[in-house]
Chains A and B, each alone.
Chain A
Amino acid sequence: MQFAKFLLSRLFSYLLVVWISITIVFFVPRFIPGNPVEAMLGKLMSQGTTMDPVLVETMRKTMTQMFGLEGTLWEQYSAFLKRVFLTLDFGPSLSYYPTPVSLLIARSLPWSIGLMLTALLISWCLGNFIGLLAGYYNRKTSSKVIETTAMVIYPIPYYILALLLNILFAYVWPIFPFVFQVSGEPGSWPWMKSVAYNSFLPLMAIVTVSLGWWIISMKAMAIDTKEEDFVQYARYRGVKDNKVMFGYVARTAVLPQITVLGLSLGGVFGGSLITEILFGYPGVGTLVYKAILGTDYNLIMGTISISIVAVATATLILDIVYPFIDPRIRYK
């Protein structure tokens, strides 16, 4: 019953946040001066060709419909909500006409998820492990060195490190490619190697910066947990350091880190978005960028909306799963 209440309230905030975000997304273009249809038409007409006014009128109508700008504000709004939550159909993309936006997103999303998931997994596991050691042996100099290093790395924005890595390892020492180019048959071993090779730098950028945070927070948790009665007594009972560190300190200290993982998803996503763009990594980020460059209205709306919903959903899932992982809640 306790869980049902929690689930309900969590779902409520999820829906509220997503609804408000999507509403903001809906209203932003409508508060900005200029009409995307006219802008598009203007662009076409400035390319020199004089067009038959009837044709222009037809195009205007088609585009207005395509952009979802038909009808009253309320009609547009409800149609938009339907699109985001039910049909996921944002119409065709302009830059990749007539490919539907949803297909483009479906193709890029796995790349983004793959990058973020891998980065999060590596940095969370490695970071917590290092943090645990640094916290348990916090009197050693190496622990202080690690903490200082983490403190220097953590404040650096993902994209800055991405840029730096790109410059250093793709330009100065051309070890890695500076344009993302995967070769080989998708799914084959050479293809996988090519993907890994091309993805290495963007992955490194995200992993390194995230490491900083996990190391710092786990170290603090480990130090606190070390002071707990049962940890002290375990030492008294002759339990060896390794066992105390992993079986007693880590087990307790790591649980809040899972909650923090959920909170960090929003930040990691934003950072990886720009990182993808800088490396030309074929994820949602680059898709957004291409949409911006091509003033592809539908694609912009589609990618932004989906991104917001995806992050909120991931956080929700993590929040719901957590009580099942924490044995203190499980065994009540």
Chain B
Amino acid sequence: MIRIKNVSLFYDTVQGTVKAVEDVSFELYDGEIVGVAGESGCGKSTLMKGIYGNIERPMYLAHGSIELEVEDEQDGRREVIPNSEFHRYWWKHLSYIPQASMSVMNPVVRIKDQFLDSYSLQEVRNYGKKVLIDAMAAYLQELELPADVLNAYPHQLSGGMRQRVIVALATFVQPKFVIADEPTTALDVVVQRGILTMLRSLQKKAGNTFVMVSHDMGVHYQITDRMVIMYAGKVVEIARTDVIFARPLHPYTEMLIRSLPRLGDNAERAGITGRPPSLLNPPRGCRFADRCYLADARCSQVQPELLELEPGHFVACLKREPGSAMITLEEMGVA
């Protein structure tokens, strides 16, 4: 499990301090696929960097903590690892799948050598080069990928194939947590589907946890179990995926769902007017207030807290708090 407690991640820039992520708390449990959704700039990538344990100047952890709790397979002992030590577990307990791109692999080194590079010299000596490569080749075949990609250079593979190989490399070590930051963005829809299917079957087989970051709600709908919705550096809603799509409670989430095309529904898609606030000087109250159909004067003054309104369903909205009348867009006659 990964525990994220009141985490704030800021950037030191020439113009001032950018509060990219502010006071975020939630947990990532074992054996689930969690989706983190929100528009560009909402802080999801920064948060992922933080969760992965890659916090480097000019970014810093202003307050809060991120902990990884692992259970030793043999003696059942629980160990809590602080964020500052995460890097020791990269490609062991944690792995990372980046956005599909030509430039994430070393252009002048073969795939199999880049695979071996993840192991220390000592480990390679212990296991044996051939043993490792054979194991990887077998794993690739399990995933229905040709084993001879190992001998290729990155630019010799197509975009989709390359991303699949990267997924294979990231999951080969059976890490407990895999963070995938926009893994299907920039790929065409068919390839996208293939990779999403691949990710889901990998997760089912290994029983580990995947964190899927995407601004594309469709991606979340296809494979995530639970979703975290972020806006302007804060978490606004957390719930099971089917609940998010059927009964979104936060106005922002509602708008996000509403913007998705649905089969049979030919009405014009509504976008959301306005833009997210500046993170240099975030507003005092709710950050969505100026774009929100429910907002009133109090919303701009008071910071909403993330409350569990239903079991497993967290919302940060003053207007949805117990006691306030629950009005949905439908009831308002907007939908």
User: Is there an interface contact between A139 and B57, defined as CB atoms closer than 8 Å?
Assistant: yes
Q: Report the bound CA distance from A327 to B119 in whole Å.
A: 24
Determine if B103 is an interface residue (Cβ-Cβ < 8 Å): yes
User: Is there an interface contact between B90 and A237, defined as CB atoms closer than 8 Å?
Assistant: yes
Determine if B324 is an interface residue (Cβ-Cβ < 8 Å): no
Residues in B71-104 with C-beta less than 8 Å from chain A: 90-92, 95-96, 98, 101, 103-104
Q: Which residue of B lies closest to A251 (CB)?
A: B108
Give which listed residue, B95, B96, B105, B117, contacts A243 with CB less than 8 A.
B117
Residues in A234-262 with C-beta less than 8 Å from chain B: 234-240, 243, 247-248, 251-252
B95: A residues at CB distance < 8 A: 237
Q: Known A139-B57, A243-B117; judge A234-B108 contact (CB<8 A).
A: no
Determine how close the nearest CB of chain B comes to the CB of A144; give it in whole angstroms.
15
A140: B residues at CB distance < 8 A: none
Q: Known A139-B57, A233-B98, A243-B117; judge A238-B104 contact (CB<8 A).
A: no
Q: Report the bound CA distance from A122 to B17 in whole Å.
A: 46
Give which listed residue, A235, A237, A238, A247, contacts B109 with CB less than 8 A.
A247
Q: Report the bound CA distance from A327 to B153 in whole Å.
A: 11
Determine if B259 is an interface residue (Cβ-Cβ < 8 Å): no
Determine how close the nearest CB of chain A comes to the CB of B53; give it in whole angstroms.
10
Q: How large is the interface on B (under 10, 10 to 19, 20 to 34, 35 or more residues)?
A: 20 to 34
User: Is there an interface contact between A236 and B96, defined as CB atoms closer than 8 Å?
Assistant: yes
Classify the interface of chain A: helix, strand, loop or mixed: helix
Give which listed residue, A248, A252, A331, contacts B153 with CB less than 8 A.
A331
Q: Which residue of A lies closest to B153 (CB)?
A: A331
Task: Find the residue from B57, B95, B101, B108 having the highest chain A CB count within 10 A.
Answer: B108
Chain B 41-85: CB-based contact to A (< 8 A → 1; otherwise 0): 000000000001010010000000000000000000000000000
Residues in B133-177 with C-beta less than 8 Å from chain A: 153, 155, 169-170
B169: A residues at CB distance < 8 A: 237
Determine if B118 is an interface residue (Cβ-Cβ < 8 Å): yes
User: Is there an interface contact between A237 and B103, defined as CB atoms closer than 8 Å?
Assistant: no
Q: Known A139-B57, A228-B103; judge A239-B108 contact (CB<8 A).
A: no
Q: Known A234-B117, A236-B52, A236-B96; judge A229-B101 contact (CB<8 A).
A: yes
A43: B residues at CB distance < 8 A: none
Determine if A230 is an interface residue (Cβ-Cβ < 8 Å): yes
Q: Which residue of B lies closest to A229 (CB)?
A: B103
Task: Find the residue from B52, B91, B107 having the highest chain A CB count within 10 A.
Answer: B107
User: Is there an interface contact between B108 and A237, defined as CB atoms closer than 8 Å?
Assistant: no
Determine if A328 is an interface residue (Cβ-Cβ < 8 Å): yes
Determine how close the nearest CB of chain A comes to the CB of B213; give it in whole angstroms.
14
User: Is there an interface contact between B96 and A248, defined as CB atoms closer than 8 Å?
Assistant: no
Chain B 101-123: CB-based contact to A (< 8 A → 1; otherwise 0): 10111111100001001111000
A233: B residues at CB distance < 8 A: 96, 98, 104-105
User: Is there an interface contact between B117 and A236, defined as CB atoms closer than 8 Å?
Assistant: no
- Chain A residues within 8 Å of B, Cβ to Cβ: 139, 228-230, 233-240, 243, 247-248, 251-252, 327-328, 331
- Chain B residues within 8 Å of A, Cβ to Cβ: 52, 54, 57, 90-92, 95-96, 98, 101, 103-109, 114, 117-120, 153, 155, 169-170
16 A-B pairs whose Cβ atoms sit less than 8 Å apart in the complex = A230-B106, A233-B98, A234-B106, A234-B114, A236-B90, A236-B98, A237-B90, A237-B91, A238-B119, A239-B117, A240-B120, A243-B117, A248-B106, A252-B106, A331-B108, A331-B153
